[in-house]
Amino acid sequence: MPSAIILIADGTEEMEFTIAYDTLVRAGIKVTSAFVDDGSSGMKSTGAVHAAKGSRGINIVPDIYFESALTDPISYDLLVVPGGAKGADTMSKHLGVQELVKKYLDAGKYVGMICAGILAALSAGLPNQPLTSHPSVRSQLEKDFDYKEDPVVVSGHLVTSRGPGTAFPFALTLIELLCGKDQRNEVQRPMVFPPDTPW
């Protein structure tokens, strides 16, 4: 069974997080969410359970804390970095996240980034390659990367996407890469997308 780790922080876009997590689970992928601390939660010192407060106020309890993921950093097949301005800021500035992004790609594992989460490609110093992002962070990326406007861009093992509106094709593309086209179709059918949906 393939496995995935999805990062979450205060300010994460909860639709992007939830669509990725839930859709991957539907494909039989074992998914773990890992909380990235911006240093303000007091979580580390108290050890208390901390729910991540999403960008629109939904409180989600993470499965593990990010530090736990670092003990065996490439034990998953896929790393996902969601958007949400504040959450993506925390993640992209976090040295451990930058390191994990590079380690996953160096090990030939998939890394998915969506929306403002693509800022982690910049902060991790990834080489110039095709990618996309939410339009609001485009100007920060287009000098260093071959910027595209496609809903989902696959560049080797780096998969990028634009926002909540592309989160379904983003998640389904990750399933196709990890589990094959048949599994993607199997997951997609019972989700009942309207006729003529372009993915």
Cβ distance to a copy of itself smaller for residue 98 or 183: 183
Cβ distance to a copy of itself smaller for residue 60 or 70: 60
Please count the other Cβ atoms lying within 10 Å of the Cβ belonging to residue 139: 9
- CA atoms 98, 103, 108, 110: torsion sign: negative
Question: Among candidates 68, 66, 36, 67, which has minimal Cα distance to 52?
Answer: 36
Q: Tokens for 3? A: 């496995």
Please confirm, yes or no, whether 179 is among the known catalytic residues: no
CA 36, 49, 67: angle at the middle one, nearest 5?
A: 35
How near is the Cβ of 35 to a copy of itself at its closest, in Å? 12
Please confirm, yes or no, whether 115 is among the known catalytic residues: yes
Cβ distance to a copy of itself smaller for residue 114 or 121: 114
The residues, ordered by sequence, that sit 6+ positions from 115 with a Cβ below 8 Å of its Cβ are 13, 16, 82, 83, 84, 88, 133, 134, 161, 162, 163, 164
Active-site pick, 50, 115, 176, 179: 115
Binding site for a copy of itself (CB under 8 A): 13-15, 18-19, 21-23, 25-26, 31, 33, 51, 54-61, 134-136, 151, 162-166, 168-169, 188, 190-199
Please confirm, yes or no, whether 50 is among the known catalytic residues: no
How near is the Cβ of 56 to a copy of itself at its closest, in Å? 4
Cα 151 to Cα 78: distance, rounded to the nearest angstrom: 19
Cβ distance to a copy of itself smaller for residue 89 or 150: 150
How near is the Cβ of 152 to a copy of itself at its closest, in Å? 9
Active site residues: 16, 115, 134
